[in-house]
């Protein structure tokens, strides 16, 4: 395999059947499959803080599927089917502001989950307190 293709700006590419292409990202963005099925192998590299997106391993994508990659992400992309090429679009985020926006969206999602869990916990405490208020001890058991 030759030097990795560096993705810097928005672009469309096609990988012919029976071929593979190594890709490295200069900035965070999303790789979206336009046509054909893709087999992507991703190493664990990329942004040192982890950043948004899938970790290393193999991924199988269908047309319309998106694959987020952090700045410095490295993948190998090849057609899933031996007789069909795969076409994809690369859409970079808007520089550092785009990276921050992706991370802010992730934090917002996690915060919503924490709030929902907090409300559930509060509801459980109220139900427990109400049960304790209504509780009456039964008749005492006699001992022989």
pLDDT tens series, the chain, 144 aa:
556 676 766 677 888 888 888 888 888 888 889 999 899 888 754 444 444 445 568 888 889 888 888 888 888 999 987 788 999 988 887 655 555 666 777 787 788 889 889 999 999 999 999 988 888 877 766 666
Rounded distance between C-alpha atoms, residue 5 and residue 9, angstroms: 12
Q: What pTM, to 2 d.p., does this model score?
A: 0.54
Q: Which residues of 28-48 are buried (b: 16+ CB within 10 A; e: fewer)?
A: bbbbbbeebebbbebeeebbe
Listed in sequence order, the residues at least 6 apart from 33 whose beta carbon sits closer than 8 Å to its beta carbon are: 61, 62, 63, 64, 65, 66, 67, 86, 87, 88
């Amino acid at each position: 395999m030759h030097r990795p293709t560096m993705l810097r700006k928005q672009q469309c590419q096609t990988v012919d059947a029976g071929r593979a292409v190594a890709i490295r990202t200069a900035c965070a963005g999303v790789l979206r499959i336009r046509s054909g099925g893709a087999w992507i192998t991703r190493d664990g590299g990329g942004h040192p803080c982890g950043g948004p997106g899938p970790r290393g391993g193999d991924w199988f994508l269908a047309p319309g599927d998106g694959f987020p990659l952090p700045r410095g992400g490295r993948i190998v992309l090849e057609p899933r089917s031996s007789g069909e090429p795969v076409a994809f679009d690369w859409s970079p985020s808007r520089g550092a502001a785009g990276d921050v926006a992706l991370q802010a969206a992730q934090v917002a999602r996690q915060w919503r989950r924490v709030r929902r869990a907090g409300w559930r916990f509060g509801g459980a405490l109220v139900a427990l307190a109400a049960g304790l208020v209504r509780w009456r001890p039964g008749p005492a058991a006699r001992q022989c």
